[in-house]
Amino acid sequence: MSDLPSSMFAVIQSHDGYSGTATGPVIADAADWLENATLPVSAPGAGQVLIKLRAASVNPSDIHFIKGEYGQPRVKGSPAGFEGCGDVIATGPGAEALQGLRVAFVAAGSGAWAEYVVTQAQMCIPLRPDISDEDGAAQIVNPMTAMAMVDIARKAGDSFVVSAATSQLGKLMCSLGRDLGLKPIALIRRAEAADMIRDAGAAEVLVTGDAEMTERFAAISADLKPRVFLDAVADQQCEQVFCNMPNGARWVCYGKLSTELPKLTQMGQLIFMNKRIEGFWLTQWMMSTAPEDQMGVVAEVQARFADGRWKTDVSERLTLTDVVPNLADALKKSDGKVIITP
Ligand SMILES: NC(=O)c1ccc[n+]([C@@H]2O[C@H](COP(=O)([O-])OP(=O)(O)OC[C@H]3O[C@@H](n4cnc5c(N)ncnc54)[C@H](OP(=O)(O)O)[C@@H]3O)[C@@H](O)[C@H]2O)c1
């Protein structure tokens, strides 16, 4: 460690634990949740690596997390940010194979919004040279989730429903679905995004604000018979979508973009139509999926980014020092990721 810097700039969390609120992945001012700090650079322990950051992405989960609304407690004073890419510049015992490699990583403990990150070697994926740093910074959370969830849909039928389809994850799932010969039914908020999402791979596009949306969905559902609803919105209209799906349909909630809490209106469907409501969390998928199967998914993800079938749309670029003053405004832009660089 002697030739490594002793201190680093980091964007740290100002709060501990859970907040008990459910206000969604939006912020008025990042300074309510984050502050700048100079922290010591830690040495990697057993099975860990030290990464020099190239780029980090901002996901809704990062915003849920800093607000204390995610499935893990915050640690006050610890850098924020779950995902990024960078160069492994030091390794602990057992992680030597990653020394010197450019990797995509998920931060476990010390966050990605810092000049240096310590994480587990298991949370790192060496990147092919033909993948850009920006694609590398968003290579795990959304792409792996897209692969895992479209696989759930593929096993259940020829069509599936995806809400918030203009999200990065929604676009990845529409294009993957089309490539697998499936018919994605996309639910979007912005009518002007309909052509874009059709081009991305959606077979049908419905705008959630349309007065006839539920009736139109019911007709499409009767025709295409989608058996899986991949839902990141989870509001009352989503419950109505689920109610208009056929026998055996599964409502897979994987995000909570809406702050509205839906009521269940058709309990009989769970009994008589074998319908199911469930959740999906990538962390759980990683813990329960065999390493060789995960490696197959990783290889396919990188191949799709390398040949251009998938890409990371970028809405705004911030340096680490810009995050606290400018993140809230940067997140207001639709259709793309905020990318943070050192
Ligand atoms: N469970 C897991 O393991 C897992 C893994 C990855 C991601 N996720 C979840 O997947 C979702 C999408 O992630 P992402 O990174 O792809 O997001 P993103 O690119 O940041 O896009 C989110 C988009 O959703 C739309 N949206 C926001 N609030 C909405 C609302 N209340 N109702 C309907 N649409 C809304 C907006 O698009 P418009 O402005 O165009 O409407 C927004 O741009 C998030 O909920 C995230 O937490 C879950």
- 167: CA distance to ligand 1 center in Å? 5
Q: What is the dihedral of CA 297, 234, 60, 168, to 10 degrees?
A: 50
With cut-offs at 50, 70 and 90, classify the pLDDT of residue 108. confident
Report residue 79 as tokens: 């850098």
- 164: CA distance to ligand 1 center in Å? 6
- Residue 8, classed as helix, strand or coil, is strand
Percent of the chain residues topping a pLDDT of 90: 97
Nearest CA residue ID for atom 36, ligand 1: 167
**323 within ligand 1 shell (Cβ under 6 A):** no
Q: Determine the pLDDT at residue 2.
A: 54
Domains of the chain: 7-138+312-341 (3.90.180.10), 144-283 (3.40.50.720)
What gap in Å lies between CA 65 and CA 67, rounded to an integer?
5
Q: Determine the pLDDT at residue 110.
A: 85
Mean residue pLDDT across the chain: 96
Q: What count of Cα atoms within 13 Å lies in the side-chain half-sphere of residue 130? A: 8
Q: Determine the pLDDT at residue 192.
A: 97
Report residue 260 as tokens: 């509205």
**282 within ligand 1 shell (Cβ under 6 A):** yes
The residue-averaged pLDDT of 252-267 equals 97
The residue-averaged pLDDT of 115-126 equals 96
First-last CA distance in the chain: 20
The residue-averaged pLDDT of 245-273 equals 97
Report the residue among 150, 161, 169, 195 best suited for mutation to probe ligand 1: largest number of ligand atoms under 8 A from its CB: 169
Q: Determine the pLDDT at residue 3.
A: 75
**194 within ligand 1 shell (Cβ under 6 A):** no
Please check the confidence at residue 131 and state whether its pLDDT lies above 90: yes
- 72: CA distance to ligand 1 center in Å? 19
Q: What is the pTM of this model?
A: 0.96
The residue-averaged pLDDT of 202-210 equals 98
